[in-house]
Every structure is written in C-alpha cells, then in structure tokens.
Structure 1
Amino acid sequence: MTTLQIPNADERGRLATVVAKHPQALEFKARDSITEYRYILKCQPEDEQFNLTHSTLAGPDALSERPYVFADNVSGSLLAFYHLGARLSGHKGIVHGGMTAILLDECMGRACFPLLEGKIAVTAKLELEYKNPIRVDSLVYILAETTSQQGRKATVEAIFRDAEDGRDLVKANGLFVEPKWASSMTKVM
C-alpha cells in the first residue's frame, strides 16, 4: 500500500520561491489594480467541505498548498500558481487532464466575474487543447484573460504553463454566462 507523502518545509517553500521571482508574477504585481489572494473562489469555512478544490482535491500530494493568485478586477484577468501532487495523476506520473480542466474552469470563471453585474457566472462552454503532459510534483501557472464581455456573457482565454520551464501545457477558451438566478447564488469574490 502506498502512503501519502507530506511535503517537507523545503518543498512547501518551493512554490513561494518560484512565485516571488517569476516574471509573470512580477508583471502582475506591478499593476495598480492587482489584488493578491491565496484562493480562487472565496469560500466560508463552513462551506469548504462542499468545494471541490478546497476539500476533495486539497491536501498532501494533491493540491498541497493554496494557490498564489493575482487578480486584476479592472481588466478581468487572473494569474494563479499551483503545486500539483502525485494524487492528481491519471496515468502514473502524469496529472489527469480533468484536473487541468477543473483548475482552468475556476480561474477563467473568476477572471470574468468582476466584469459581470452579478459578479458570478456559470460555464457555458469550455474548450481545451492539450499541448504537453504535466508531470506530477509540477509547479504550474494559469493566466486567464477576459477577451470580451457583453451583457451577461464573457469570453475568456487561458494558458496553463509549467512555472519552471515555461512550456505551454494546455490552452483554453470558454464562454461564461451570468445566470438569470445569479442573485440566489453564493458570492465567491
């Protein structure tokens, strides 16, 4: 039976070290309109157990740390850095493609939320183009940018990259729609 490995202090600091020096993070931090977070979607403590990325996918050897997130709520763009552990694999040693879809969906949705009247949307369409396999124990980032917004609809493009070698891993585009019942949804930003 395999046991989960809890990252040691050096491994836990690896993501912070990469983010502190990463050119994309430095470019975002230089903007006046940036807010930094350690989550994509705001979640009340009592609701965390019902949030996929805050609970089920979080923990040692999975999403072992909360992401480093830089949100530009004026332009509708977002930059998020993650560590992807071995429990997120599909094939041994390779992160499951569905995991990347989940992270892209959250980041792309959150990028466009500030531009919509109700500050929330649901995914109407998400297209992914897988470019390279993602190895487990990778440090990655997602850059999501809203390319258009009209009424209750927003179009977002994103790139999922290796944070250490810069390889493109997944490209995505999506359509996000603020539902007519948005006022009854839990606020996540």
Structure 2
Amino acid sequence: MPETKLAAHSDFQLVRDDPNYVLYQPYKSEENKSLVANYVHQKALAFCPYYFVEKSGKGSVVFFYPNEQLCGYKNILHGGFIASMLDEALAYGIFGNFASRLGVTVNLDITYVAPSICGHLYKIVCNTTKIEGRKGWIYGELYRLSDNEEPTLCVKATGFFVEPSKLNLEKHV
C-alpha cells in the first residue's frame, strides 16, 4: 500500500520521469548487510528506498516510508534513524563528483525542525554546494509528505565528504 501511494504522488512522478536522474535501489539485495539494508529486510521500511541521483552530480532525491519499528517516542521517528537516512542521501548526492564515485562522511550537521512521524512518506532533497578536489559539501532537507497538504520540512542537514586518496573502499561498498 505505501509503495502504491508513493507511485501516485506527484513529487515522486516528477523525479521518476526526469531524464536527468538515475534511479538506485541499493538495498534490495539480500547480500547487502548495511544498516539501511537491514531496515529493508526487517520490514522497518515499508519498501526499499528510491534513490534518484542527478547525472550531473548536483544532488539526489530519496523517497522512503518508515514503520513504527523506527520510532523513539510513540509515533516519532528516532533521530538516529533520520541521521542515517540523511547521511546516505547526502552521500549519494555528492559521490558523483568524485572520480572513484566513493567517499566518506567527515562531518554531518543536523537540525531537527519538526517531528518526523511514522506512517508517512518522506522525501529527502540534496544539493551539492561546493566541490574542491577530493572534498565536497552538500545540503539536504527531509520533508514529510501528506495527502492534500504542502510538504512539511522536518530536518535540515549539511554534510562534508572526502574521497579517500589511498584507502580502497570498493570492497566495503
């Protein structure tokens, strides 16, 4: 049901149909044992998140639907889960700017603006703000999507990422 709701949402349709974006769903594979993949496999996320990455390296848009297992307080999403989703979305949005397409988070700054409530669709919108060689900065916002209402800004985040020069991360991705 949540994935059907997502498919019908105008924000999703705009990004899905935009040829400037590439769709990734990296957590579908049972072989992927990452944190977000575990949320997908344990059904804490109603469906595998949709990561739309701009071909130009300018940013990303992510859609997901968290279930009650990810709450801290009743019906309120846990801040650590939110931080994990923002870190992933920011990373996908900026890695296209690095020659290796890999990087590591150096700094993640999060400001919680409004409660993130379970049982809603969410959208993260990320935009690269600056690239200097192997360094990159990106900004993102998490929105709660509701039927017949304007999206609600819940969280703002900035990230600083670096493409490692000597560490081979390919075996870890």
State the TM-score, normalized to the length of structure 1: 0.80
Report the Cα distance in structure 2 between the residues aligned to 1:179 and 1:29, rounded to whole angstroms.
31
Aligned partner (choices 59, 72, 77) of residue 77 of structure 1: 59
Q: Say if 2:57 and 2:95, in contact at 8 Å, map to a contact too.
A: no
**CA deviation after TM superposition for structure 1 residue 148, in Å:** 1.1
**CA deviation after TM superposition for structure 1 residue 67, in Å:** 1.0
> Residue 37 in 1 paired to residue 21 in 2?
no
**CA deviation after TM superposition for structure 1 residue 187, in Å:** 7.1
Map of 1:158-169 to 2, 5 A cutoff? 158-164=140-146, 165=149, 166-169=151-154
**CA deviation after TM superposition for structure 1 residue 60, in Å:** 5.4
> Residue 93 in 1 paired to residue 75 in 2?
yes
Aligned partner (choices 6, 30, 35) of residue 52 of structure 1: 35
Q: Secondary structure at the match of 1:63?
A: coil
Identity %: 25
Report what 2:158 is aligned to. Answer: 173
For the aligned residues, what is the CA RMSD? 2.1
Q: Say if 1:60 and 1:85, in contact at 8 Å, map to a contact too.
A: no
Q: Say if 1:77 and 1:144, in contact at 8 Å, map to a contact too.
A: yes
Q: Say if 1:107 and 1:144, in contact at 8 Å, map to a contact too.
A: yes
Aligned partner (choices 96, 119, 143) of residue 137 of structure 1: 119
Report the Cα distance in structure 2 between the residues aligned to 1:98 and 1:184, rounded to whole angstroms.
24
Name structure 2 gaps, 5 residues minimum: none
State the TM-score, normalized to the length of structure 2: 0.87
Structure 1 range deviating more: 68-77 or 26-35: 26-35
Name structure 1 gaps, 5 residues minimum: 1-10
- How many residues in Structure 1 have an aligned counterpart in Structure 2? 170
Report the Cα distance in structure 1 between the residues aligned to 2:42 and 2:78, rounded to whole angstroms.
17
